[in-house]
Structure 1
Amino acid sequence: MATYARSVRRGLPRASGGDPWPPAGEASAPVAGAATPVDPPAPVDPPAPGAPPASVDPTETAPTGTASMQNASARGAATRRGLPRTPGGEAWPPAASTAPDAATPAFPSVENPPREAHDHGADPVLVDAAEPAASTPAASTVAASTVAASAAAASADDAGSGAVRRGLPRAAGGDAWPPAETTPASRAAPPSRETARGVRDSGLAPQSQSADAVSASSGGAPATPEPAPAAPAAAPAAPATPRAPLAERPLAHAGVARRPAAKPDPARIGPFTKVQWAGVVVLGGAAVLYVAAMAVLAVRWILSLEPLQDFLTTYPGEYHLPEGAPVGFPAWLNWSHFLNAFFIVLIIRTGLQVRSEKRPAAFWISKKDRKRRMSLTLWLHQALDVLWLANGVIFVVLLFVTGQWMRVIPTSWEVFPNAVSAALQYVSLDWPTENGWVNYNALQQLAYFATIFIAAPLAAITGYRMSAVWPKQATTLNRIYPVEWARKIHFPTMLYFVLFIVVHVALVLSTGALRNLGHMYAATGSTDPEAYADNWTGFWLFALSIAVTVAAYVAMRPLVVAPIARLFGEVKSR
């Protein structure tokens, strides 16, 4: 392999106070084309008798300096031979197959492109650009010229050299691989490119590129390398247009983004809010009006038929009472009617409050049994129940004592067809014209009977089962009559009373308000329906009863109820 001269880098002295090592007069060390410096030749086993002597690499004994480099480049170098392949054999490779071509320069190509797949043993030429090439200007000049000569020799080697280095045989005892007649394929010169620093890069290997920096790193005078062929002039670059500044992206929120506070849920009255209840009332009212209008039209058409006309003649909507039935309303009946309406309104109000109350404002505790503890609202509800039941018991007793029971208890099976006839007349808006001072129509009689003798007892029995008065330790009674049954019956019974009150008041006011109110509140009436049709006494008494009921409804607060409750027990507020 070819070598070229360079200066020796001097380091620390071997002895304290001595000169740097190696001495300045020592000859420059040759640099081999391998990746590492060439070591002295290793001792070779003596060849077998009769074998030709191994050739000696001229680079091992070549003189140093500029003259030796020129002589080496002029005569070429023989391939270094190594150990024999077989014990006692000839050194490998044979001398005949390793003789260099006379036309081949001593220096291998500095460009050192990648070898073909079969060129496994080629020694690359590496040039350390970080080390100085020579310690004098002359040495730098020689090194630069040597690099240029190496590039020219590499081009000649790529163009005309056909020798291929051969390696081990593919089979035991066979010829070396590849065969001797194999020629390397031609390689195209890599295209040049411009680097980021504006320097033309011809695509050479790092070994050839590092040769340009040999003289620059030596610290001496700048070397003058041989002029390289001029690269084609590059087209003038278009003036670069300045890029627009990056636009700042606005934030979604100015400053720190804060999540808006959640809106509180609207207050609910039962299952709906106030707005939802308003919608239910509007839509429900519209639906009721539509259904009522359709029902009125349908019933009027039915009653216009001849069979229905005969039915109304036979059953006008009322039947005659038994002989001895009383006529008119006594005063006790008027008072009982007022108290019944007063208590039932307050009972409904307190019952709904008990169902919706979660944190009672005060509690009532019994004086006899301290374990009986309930909310003040529940105590008021049960107290009103007791008063309502007492009034109802007195009312029922007086009904049977005075014979008024015949007015509210059906006494004939004719009550049912007459009730149907009365219902059709009400729906058709051609209402019955009976005199309530003497007799009720059949539909009224059935409604009063159901309210007095069915709905009222159900409300009393279910309320008693749910109250604190019910014996908790009565296992048998609790199993026979579970409290769940009482809850399922008690609330629908209350809804019936609400519906009855609404319909009853509406009919009283729409079928002769002054006459009907005189009957129930002033006990004024006659067998002649028109006798008290213009009497306002009953109306003013009715208005007074409404005022008293409303005042009691508003006054049912702990501040008013607590003093009354303390008369029967102890009241504790939160």
Structure 2
Amino acid sequence: MAATTTPTRSRWFKLVWIIPIVVVGAFLIVLAAKGIRGLPAVQSFLHDYPGQSALPSWAPVGFPAWLEWQHFLSSFFMLFIIRTGWQVHTTQRAAAYWTRKNAGLLKTKGQPVRIPLHLWFHLTVDSLWVLNGIVFYVLIFVTGQWVRIIPTRWDVFPNAVSAGLQYASLEWPTEDGWTNYNALQLLSYFLVVFVAAPLAILTGLRMVPGLAARFRPIEKLYPLKAARAMHYPIMIFFVAFIIVHVALVLATGALRNLNHMYGGSDDVNWVGFAFFAGSLVLMVGGWFAARPVILAQLAGLGGRVGR
């Protein structure tokens, strides 16, 4: 028993040491930011660039219902993508394996690919997340919501620096997400939606068992090792983004922010919080429901599950 648990304990022990490092690092950053803000040149910079880049006059205001659903579904799927991604990265021996009945492209040397059950779940949730993302891309461009997460002015960059300095000094930039994100938020969302998400998909496709062999003609152009080297850090990026995003949502006016994405209004009341709490209940329920015995039954609908 000790031989099987030692690697896991060692891994978590290393992760625990990250906590004091992060705390000390954050404290030093806050001190440095407060000192920098006191400089006359920096004060002048903050005056010229308050942290928000203006939007075109036709930019939409508020968040439509479809965007609220998209936000929830993306969060729900991402929870299980991260969970199963970690399992793929750390599990040495799977509890069960899945083989597709009609293998199609998922073949290696003419034989159906046999993959761990948690990898099957990972690929399944990935597919749902990608489908949800496609709908999101279409709707933001059809409705004009794209202008809120794609830079349209060059001053977004100095304004992002300004917003970052304000966050770091714990003197928050003016929050008005209902009409316009601050520049750092805008660039962060752009990075997530149009850079990190496509990279996660491209690197993930490169590693899909069965499909990986079909990419051999472009091995020199897009090596499998490169995809593997990028895919895991992208997951870490998403985890870090989610932690920071949720922390700032709660720290910069929780009720108003939650109403934006769950209550469909700019009011300060408990409606958005109630929907947010309900979404957490669904996530927790889904987390405990995603047990191997249930996953095996679902996977059995499209393939064979066994040891």
TM-score, structure 1 as length reference: 0.50
Aligned with 1:498 (options 236, 239, 245): 239
Residue 202 of structure 2 corresponds to which residue in structure 1? 461
Tell me which amino acid in the other structure corresponds to 1:308: V
In structure 1, give the amino acid aligned to 2:184.
Answer: L
Q: Match of 2:221? A: 480
Q: Which of 548, 551, 558 in structure 1 is aligned with 2:282?
A: 548
Larger-gyration structure (1/2): 1
| Residues 72 and 279 in structure 2, CA contact (< 8 A), matched pair in contact too | yes
Deviation at 1:269, TM superposition (A): 5.2
Taking the aligned partners of 1:264 and 1:474, their CA distance within structure 2 comes to: 41
2:154 alignment counterpart? 413
Matches within 5 A, 1:367-386: 367-369=101-103, 371-386=112-127
Bigger RCO of structures 1 and 2 (CA < 8 A, at least 6 apart): 2
| Displacement after TM superposition at 1:469 (Å) | 4.9
1:271 CA displacement: 7.5
Give the structure 1 partner of residue 256 of structure 2.
515
Amino acid at match of 1:491: Y
For 1:516 and 1:338, the matched residues in 2 are separated by 14
Structure 2 Cα separation of the partners of residues 475 and 265 of structure 1? 38
The count of residues paired between Structure 1 and Structure 2 equals: 300
Change (3 A) 1:317 1:474: closer
The letter of the residue matching 2:208 is S
- Structure 1 match to 2:172: 431
Query: What residue number does 1:193 align with?
Result: none
Q: Letter of the aligned partner of 2:139 in structure 1?
A: L
The answer to whether 1:313 aligns with 2:47 is yes
What is the letter of the counterpart of residue 520 of structure 1?
M
Counterpart selection for 1:356 from 90, 94, 108: 90
Q: Normalized against structure 2, the TM-score is what?
A: 0.92
Equivalent residues of 1:267, 1:273 under 8 A apart:
no
Distance 1:328 1:336 in 2: 15
List, as ranges, runs of 4+ consecutive aligned residues in structure 1 with deviation greater than 6 Å: none
| Structure 2 unaligned regions, length at least 5 | 104-110
Note the residue ranges of structure 1 that are not aligned, 5 or more in a row: 1-262, 526-531
Counterpart contact for 2:163–2:173, Cα < 8 Å = yes
Name the CA shift for 1:570/1:291 in 2 (closer, same or farther; >3 Å): closer
CA distance in 2: counterparts of 1:473 and 1:294, whole angstroms: 49
Distance 1:422 1:368, change over 3 A: same
Report the Cα distance in structure 2 between the residues aligned to 1:427 and 1:560, rounded to whole angstroms. Answer: 45
Within a 5 Å distance, the mapping from 1:8-47 to structure 2 comes to none
1:267 and 2:1 equivalent? Answer: no
Matched, 1:331 2:72: no
Work out the CA distance in 2 between the residues paired with 1:395 and 1:403. 12
Alignment of 1:36-435 (within 5 A): 264-265=2-3, 267-268=5-6, 270=8, 272=10, 276-277=13-14, 281=16, 283-369=17-103, 371-435=112-176
The amino acid that maps onto 1:423 is G
Give the whole-Å Cα distance in 2 for the aligned partners of 1:269 and 1:439.
47
Are the aligned partners of 1:517 and 1:539 in contact in 2 as well (CA < 8 Å)? yes
Q: Distance in 1 between matches of 2:213 and 2:87?
A: 24
Task: Please state whether the residue corresponding to 2:305 is helix, strand or coil.
Answer: strand
Per-residue deviation, residues 192-220 of structure 1 (Å, max 9, x unmatched):
xxxxxxxxxxxxxxxxxxxxxxxxxxxxx
Confirm whether residue 443 of structure 1 aligns to residue 184 of structure 2.
Answer: yes
The change in CA–CA distance for 1:270 and 1:322 in structure 2 (over 3 A counts) is: farther
Which letter does structure 1 place at the counterpart of 2:254?
A: A
